[in-house]
Structure 1
Amino acid sequence: MTAVKVIKVVGTSEESWEAAAKEAVERASQSVEGVHGVEIDHWTAEIEDDEIVEYRATTEIAFPVQD
């Protein structure tokens, strides 16, 4: 049986929520090994002058606990 750890990571992008989620996974993968799942917790954005200037994806990243 494998134990799995879940961390919360917020990704950001000037392009889209999908790009923000991808950024979260890519950044998490740089510091933990074996990322094998992601769940989007929620989507948010920063607004300036009635326009979205930054998309944010709060994610839960899953990876196995190392022995």
Structure 2
Amino acid sequence: MAVVKVIELLAESEQSWEDAARQAVAEATKTVRGIRSVYINEFQATVENDQVKSYRVNAKVSFVIEKS
């Protein structure tokens, strides 16, 4: 039986929410192995001069705990 752990990350992109999600996963893969999924819990955007400046996501990344 696999044990799955979930970590929560906040990521930001000037391109899109999808890019922010990709950046969250890319950053997580630097220190975490076995990532299985990402759940985007929350979307936000910052606005400057009446235009969207950046996109933010609250991402829950799940991965399998390795047995020793």
Task: Give the TM-score category using the shorter length.
Answer: over 0.9
| Unmatched tracts of structure 2, length 5 or more | none
Bigger helix fraction: 1
Root-mean-square deviation (CA, aligned residues, Å) is 0.8
Does 1:47 pair with 2:58? no
Please give the TM-score of this superposition, normalised by the length of structure 1: 0.93
Matches of 2:10 and 2:64, distance apart in 1: 20
Superposition misfits of 4+ residues, deviation over 6 angstroms: none
Identity of aligned residues (%): 37
Does 1:61 pair with 2:67? no
Partner SS, residue 33 of structure 1: coil
Partner SS, residue 22 of structure 2: helix
Matches of 1:43 and 1:22, distance apart in 2: 14
- Alignment length (residue pairs): 67
Residue aligning to 1:16: 16
| Unmatched tracts of structure 1, length 5 or more | none
